[in-house]
Amino acid sequence: MPSEKVLEQKKQAVTELTETLKGACAGVVVDYKGTNVTDDTILRKELREAGVKYTVVKNTLLRFAAKNAGLDGLCDVLEGTTAIAVSSDDHVAAARILGKFAEKHKNFSVKSGFLDNDVISLDKIESLAKLPSREVLLATVCNVFNAPVSAFARVIQAIVDKQSETDSAAAEA
């Protein structure tokens, strides 16, 4: 039987983890077995720069927290080594970074994930991982909006140039 002090620490950890899960817009659960310290350090730095919180957790604590947060579907994959990456504002950052890392490292694998408090399939996580960054998407949208305006401006300029050529030819004659 664990002591009261240890039990309180575990309850506090579950409470904090539950709040983290509830406050996150997206999260990815991974199996990090076999990842060396150098690669893990690089991964954590990249996640931190993207605003993603990455934590190694005990399966039992995550199981309790997931149930408390309404993410019961995560409990099926909680075996072996487990880490969770959560983001409170970027829906694709964790999936993109961890998916790219998993492609390069054979021992590292994505187990499951959630998006807006719903557990999602591995196919959806892979789809999210392949999305470009927010800045690239915004630039693409801006280019799409800018293209018709640019084309219209070129047509108007061509009309003005043609008119000035016609005026010049008429003046010389």
Q: Are residues 123 and 46 in the same domain?
A: yes
Give yes or no for a contact between 102 and 34, defined as CB atoms under 8 angstroms apart: no
Whether residues 33 and 98 fall in one domain: yes
Q: Region 136-153: what's the mean pLDDT?
A: 80
Residue 142 above 90 pLDDT? no
Same domain, 74 and 26: yes
What tens digit of pLDDT does each residue of 94-123 get?
899 999 998 888 888 899 889 888 888 888
Q: Quick one: 86 and 117 in the same domain?
A: yes
User: Are 26 and 90 in the same domain?
Assistant: yes
Domain shared by 48 and 104, yes or no: yes
Pairing of strands 83-87, 52-56: antiparallel
The torsion of the CA quartet 116, 120, 126, 130, rounded to 10 degrees, works out to -20
Which range marks the domain in which residue 87 is found? 4-131
The answer to whether the beta carbons of residues 115 and 87 sit under 8 Å apart is: no
Please give the torsion angle defined by the CA atoms of residues 89, 77, 30 and 22, in that order, rounded to the nearest 10 degrees. Answer: 20
Shared domain for 88 and 14, answered yes or no, is yes
Contacting residues for 125 by C-beta, under 8 A, at least 6 apart: 28, 95, 99, 110, 112, 113
CATH of the domain at 52: 3.30.70.1730
Single pTM value for the model: 0.72
Q: Is the pLDDT of residue 137 over 80?
A: no
Q: Are residues 79 and 144 in the same domain?
A: no
